[in-house]
Amino acid sequence: MPRRPDLQSVCLIGSGPIVIGQACEFDYAGSQALKVLRAEGLRTIVVNSNPATIMTDPGFADRTYLEPLDAEAVAGVLAQERPDALLPTLGGQTALNLAAELADAGTLDELGVELIGAGVDVIRRAEDRELFRETVQSIGLKVPESRIVRALDDVPCDLAFPVVLRPAFTLGGHGGGIAGTPDELARKLEVGLRESPVHQVLVEECLAGWDEFELEVMRDAKDNVVVVCSIENLDPMGVHTGDSVTVAPQMTLPDEAYQELRNAAAAVIRAVGVETGGSNIQFARERGTGELRVIEMNPRVSRSSALASKATGYPIAKVAAKLAVGYTLDEIPNDLTGTTPASFEPALDYVVVKLPRFAFDKFPGADPTLGTQMKSVGEAMGIGRTFTEAFLKAFRSRELEAGGHAPWATLEALPEGVHPWFRRRLEEARETLCSITSLEDATRDDWIRLKRAGWSDESVAGRCNTSEERVRAARRSWGVRPAYRRVDSCAAEVEASSNYLYSTWGEAGDAPFPAEGSVVILGSGPNRIGQGIEFDYCCVHAARSFRALGYEAVMVNSNPETVSTDYDTSDRLYFEPLDAESVLELCARERPAGVAIQFGGQTPLRLARALEAAGYRILGTPFDAVDLAEDRERFAALCGRLEVAVPPWGMASGPVEAGDVAAGIGFPVLVRPSYVLGGRRMRICYSRADVEAAVDPDDRVLVDRFLEGAVELDVDALCDGTDTHVAAVMQHVEEAGVHSGDSSCALPAVSVDRATIEDVEAVVRRLAPALGVVGLVNVQLALVDGRIFVLEANPRASRTVPFASKATGVNLVHAACRLMAGEPLASLTLPPVRAEGRVSVKAAVFPFARFPGADPVLGPEMRSTGEVMSSAGDFATAFAKAERAAGRPLPLTGNAFLSVRDVDKEAVAVLAARLAGLGFRLSATPGTAASLTAAGITVSCIRKVSEEGEGATAVDLIRRGRCDLVINTPDGRDARSDGYRIREAALVARVPCVTTMAGAAAAVQAIAGARRERAVSLQEHVAARSA
C-alpha cells in the first residue's frame, strides 16, 4: 500500500530528559522518523523538552516545541498546530503514556488528531498487566503466574516466595523488585503502589535463573510480521534487561527452540494488535525443560530496538515511521542494500555484545545489587566475528574508572547463572591470553589467535608486563593489522554499499576505500553521568558540518543508543572502542586530513597524545591547550599574565599538608583530587578537620578557595586563535558549589547587569586566544561582590552547547567546525548576542529515586542524568515550566515545609514571608521555626525525627502527603542526619524538594510570577531573534 494520502501533518512526541531507562535511543528513533516523514512530504511537529537532542534541532522538523512532556503542554501544542496524526511509538514510555492520557481525556478526539502506530487499545493491552495476561493466554502462551495488587491489604496469602513486584506504567521497571519474605513484600509493595501512576503492582512468579531472550518484531498494516533481531541476555531473569549483558543474535538456542520464540513473538504482536511498527517482546525460558513465559512487550521503539538496529543495520525507527504512514514491509527498501525490501530479515555474520555502564560510585549509600529495576546509565556495544571478540570490545569500551564498582568488572568473577556456553567461551579467551608470557615468543599465529579472541594491545601489555606501545610495535612487526568489515544486514548475500564498519582480525576487509580529506570525529562512548547526549549532539553536528564543508565525515563511537552511530550521520561509521589501539588503527587506514577531538567530551582528549605522537593532525584547538587548562599551575600562571583573577589555590599531598594549605587560603575551601573528572570526590570543607577528613594519606589534592554565595556563570565562546565571539553567558540558578551540570541555568543571565556581562566577555576574550583555542571553549566564572573570578576553562565543546545553540539560534558546533577548518571568525558573520527578548532556562534531572539510600542533595559532584529546557517571556515563567518539564512541578499553594542550616536562617525569612503572602501555610523544624517566628512570620513548629516528643515528625508529614513543597539545605555530610531523612521522604513522596537557598529563591519567584503563555516553537523563536 502506498502512503496514506489523508495524512498531511504528524506530531511526534519525544521522550524528554535523559533518565535511567530512557536515553539517547529515543533521539535516534525520533530523528530517524523525522527524516522519513519529511521526505514523505509531511509537515512535522515535535514536542520534546530535551534540548540536547538532535530531533529538537530546528532543521529537523517544521515546528519544534521544547515544552514539558505533560498532557497540558502537549494538548496546547496540538490545539495550536492541529496535526492530522500523533505518532507516539518513538518517544519511549513517556510518549506512549502521554498519548494514552490524551486519548482518555478525549483531547485527541476533540482536536481530531488520530493516533497512528499504536492505538490506545493497543497501548492498554500491552501495558496493563491484567489485559496483557489475558491477551497472551488467549493465544495459548503463558505469562508468569501473577496477581494484581491494588492495596497493601490486598496481598494474596498463597504466594510462593520469592516473588517479583512490577508496578504498572512505570518506565524501566521503576519501583519494582524481588521479595523473598512476606515482610519484604509488604515493604516493597508500599513503594511500588506509590510509584505506579495507577496504583497497581503485579506480584508474580519469580523466574530468577531462567534464561532471557528478546525479539524485535515489525508488523505492517497488511499483517506481515518480520523478526529483525534476536537478543540473548547473559545475566539471567531477575536482572533488568537494560542492566544485562546482552548478545545478538541469540547464541544458545537450537533452531526448533528459536522458531518457537519467533512464532510466539509473532502471535503476541498480532494479539496485542500493534497496527504498524516495531515491538520488543521479552521471554523467559527454562534451560532444562524449555518452558516459556512471555514477560512483557513494548508496543513501540525501545532501547532494545535501538540496539537491534545497530546490531543488524536494520533501521527499526525509520521503517516504523514509514509503516505508520501506510507503507508495507515489502515496499520499503533496505537502505544498506538498496535492492532488498524491509521484509528481508537481517542475517548476521558477526556477533554483537552490549555491556551496561553503571554509576554507583556517584551514589554512595545506594544498593548496587542488580534487580528488576534498571540502574545502569549507559551502554557500550562491541562488534566482532566471534562472541569473545565482540564481548571484549564492549568490555573495554565501557571506559570504567579504576577501582569503581561495576558488575562484570573482571572476567575472573562472572555473575551467577550465566549460561555455561558463555562461561566456556570466556574461559577459552582467558586461556588464550594466558598462553603467552612475553612478546618475544609470540609468533604471527599467536598474534592472530590473541586478536581473534578479542584481546586488545593493552590487555596483552598487562599480561606481558610491558607497555601498550611496545605490544603494538611487536604485533605490527608481524604484519598483524585489523581488517574492516561492513555491517550489511544480509551476511554479504546481497551487494551493499554500507558505510557501517567494524574491525576484525586475520581476514580480508571489504570496507569502502577511504577518500582523501576525511575528518575523523571521535565520539563520547557510553553515556555516564557527566558525559552524555550533549556530546553526541555535538559529534552529530560536527559530522554534518564537516560534510557541508566538503570533507568526508568519519565517526567513531561505541555507544549504540546514539544518533552519531546512525550510519546516516557520517560518510563512514566505525563502530569501535574509543581506545588508542582502535583509533590509531582506523586512522592508519583513513589517513584523515584531521581528527576532531573537541566534541566528544573527555573521552577523545585522552586519545589526543597518542594521535599527535602518531603524526595525526588534531583539528582546531591543539591538545596542549587542554593540558594548559587542566594543569592548575600552568593555568594559574596564564591567568596571572592575563590579569584574570582565579580563586586562591594550592596543591598539597596528604591530609596535614592539605590542612596547612587550606588554612593559608582561608575557609571554606574546595578540595579535590588533582586528576578529578566530573567532580568526583570533590568536597567543600569549612574547617581544617573537614579537610583532613576529606584527604587520604597518599592523595595529591588541589585546594581552592570556595567562593561562598557567589553567582556562577557559564560561558560558551568561539575562538579562531585570535578573535573570540562570546556566544552565550548563562547564569546558574544555584550558587557556586553546585556542579555546573546539576545547576539550573538561565540565558540571558537574568540578574547580572550589562556592564558586568561586558567585563565577563572581556575576560573570556583574553583567555580564549591565550589558551590557543580554535573552535569552542567553555569558561566557568564566579561573581563575588562585583569581582570576577575564573573557576575553570575547558577548551572543548561543553555540556551547555546544545542549550546555548537552541536558546541563541546559532549552531555553535557548525561555527566551531568552520573555525577548525581554517576560516576566520570574521567570515562567520555571527549574529550579535542579544540579551533582550525571551528567557531560556535549563534544569537538570536526577536519578535519586532509582538509588534509595543515596542523599538527594546537590553538591560539587555531578549526579544528574539529563536536562530539560524551556523558554518564556520572563524568568519566572520559564523556570516554572522547566521545573514542570523536569518532573518537579511547583505547587501554587498548599503547605510548605522549611528546614535550613544556620547560615541560611536569615535568608529563609524573606522566602517564607513571600510564601506566606502567596497563601502557603508554613511549617518548620524548631530552629528554623524560631527564626521565622522572630521575624514575625506565622509558622507551625514540627519536631525533627531525631528529637524526642509527641506528634508527627517532619518525615511523617511528608509521607502522609501533608506537604507540597520542601525547602531543606544540608547541614552536614552525616548520612543519617535529619536533613537526609527529610529529603529522602520528599523524594519518595514525590514532593518538590529544594536543597539550596538560591534554588529556593528561584522557586518562590516562579511560584509568584509564572504566567500562562502560548507555547512558542523554536522556529518562531529563532526567526524572532534574527529579525
Residues lying near other proteins in the complex (CB under 8 A) are found at 222-224, 226-227, 249, 251-256, 258-259, 262-263, 328-330, 340-341, 343-351, 385-387, 421, 425, 452, 485, 490-495, 506-508, 510
Shortest Cβ distance from residue 220 to other proteins (Å)? 8
Secondary structure letter of residue 526 according to DSSP = S
Q: Which is nearer to other proteins, 133 or 425 (CB)?
A: 425
> Would you tell me how many other CB atoms lie within 10 Å of the CB of residue 1024?
12
Q: Which is nearer to other proteins, 343 or 977 (CB)?
A: 343
Q: Which is nearer to other proteins, 346 or 604 (CB)?
A: 346
Shortest Cβ distance from residue 222 to other proteins (Å)? 6
Closest residue by Cα to residue 522 from 538, 534, 533: 538
Q: Which is nearer to other proteins, 429 or 554 (CB)?
A: 429
Q: Which is nearer to other proteins, 482 or 741 (CB)?
A: 482
Closest residue by Cα to residue 485 from 555, 394, 575: 575
Shortest Cβ distance from residue 387 to other proteins (Å)? 6
How far from 581 is each of 434, 459, 595, CA to CA, in Å? 20, 11, 15
Q: Which is nearer to other proteins, 166 or 262 (CB)?
A: 262
φ/ψ of 685, rounded to 5, equals: -120, 135
Q: CB under 8 Å, gap of 24 or more: what pairs does 404-412 form?
A: 404/360, 404/361, 405/358, 405/360, 405/361, 405/368, 406/357, 406/358, 406/360, 407/235, 407/243, 407/356, 407/358, 407/368, 407/370, 408/245, 408/355
Q: Which is nearer to other proteins, 448 or 828 (CB)?
A: 448
Helix pair 623-630, 754-771: axis angle to 10 deg: 120
Shortest Cβ distance from residue 485 to other proteins (Å)? 6
> What is the C-alpha end-to-end distance of the chain, expressed in Å?
44
CA 500 vs. chain centroid, Å, equals 24
| Angstrom distance (rounded) from CA 523 to CA 578 | 8
- For CA atoms 142, 187, 233, 300, give the dihedral sign: positive
| Cα-only R_g, the chain | 28
384 three-class SS: strand
Q: Which is nearer to other proteins, 128 or 389 (CB)?
A: 389
> Would you tell me how many other CB atoms lie within 10 Å of the CB of residue 340?
15
Secondary structure letter of residue 28 according to DSSP = H
**What is the layout of strands, in order, in the sheet containing 895-899?**
940-941, 921-924, 895-899, 965-968, 993-994
Q: Which is nearer to other proteins, 446 or 468 (CB)?
A: 446
**Preceding amide of 162 cis, omega within 30:** yes
**What is the layout of strands, in order, in the sheet containing 211-219?**
292-298, 277-285, 211-219, 225-233, 246-248, 351-357, 378-384
| Angstrom distance (rounded) from CA 283 to CA 262 | 11
Shortest Cβ distance from residue 457 to other proteins (Å)? 21
Q: Which is nearer to other proteins, 502 or 567 (CB)?
A: 502
Shortest Cβ distance from residue 341 to other proteins (Å)? 5
Shortest Cβ distance from residue 328 to other proteins (Å)? 8
Closest residue by Cα to residue 213 from 297, 114, 316: 297
Shortest Cβ distance from residue 15 to other proteins (Å)? 31
| Angstrom distance (rounded) from CA 405 to CA 403 | 7
Helix pair 71-81, 92-104: axis angle to 10 deg: 70
Q: Which is nearer to other proteins, 255 or 633 (CB)?
A: 255
Q: Which is nearer to other proteins, 493 or 974 (CB)?
A: 493
Shortest Cβ distance from residue 679 to other proteins (Å)? 42
Shortest Cβ distance from residue 266 to other proteins (Å)? 8
Shortest Cβ distance from residue 239 to other proteins (Å)? 22
Shortest Cβ distance from residue 495 to other proteins (Å)? 7
